[in-house]
Copies of this chain bind each other. A is one copy, B any other.
Amino acid sequence: MPANRYLEDLQVGEKIQTAAVPITEEEILEFSRRYDPQPMHADPQVPGGLIASGWHTAAIVMRLTVDSNPLGSLPLLGLGVDGIQWPLPVRPGDTIQVEMEVLDIRPSKSQPTHGIVKIRSTARNQHGEVVYVVIPNCWVPRRPA
């Protein structure tokens, strides 16, 4: 586990790359049948071919983010998201990798122990095509005095 990284340790413009993960048909079907059971996500014989639920892609990107320990052992807690885009579908056999970029850092006005860090996470497939962009606002502890 890398050292904890507090608000003061982050820099606007810094980038973090996650590992890459392959997406299987089995996983797409399992997620979709539970949470997004539409034919395009849950029927392997659908015309045009199976595509992952956008919320599955979002969950996979969260897992890649957590596993990359960007704050060490500090929690990754999202207050909200400024936007999401799914420009291209994710299909079985695709491999997804995420790059996070710090867009903004500001101390909290209400809680002096924390700050808010705006990130842009961009997920690309094995062809380098962008399949998902999310801009979360994260609640990050300040370094204890």
| Residues of A near any B CB (own CB < 8 A) | 31, 34-40, 53-56, 58-60, 62-63, 66, 75-86
Contacts and interface: CB of A to CB of B under 8 A. Distances in A.
5 contacts: A34-B63, A36-B59, A38-B76, A79-B86, A81-B83
B85 A80 contact: yes
Nearest to A37: B66
A110 to B, nearest CB: 14
Given A37-B66, A55-B59, A84 B81 contact: yes
Contacts of A38: 66, 75-76
A56 B78 CA distance: 13
Nearest to A132: B80
Nearest to A80: B85
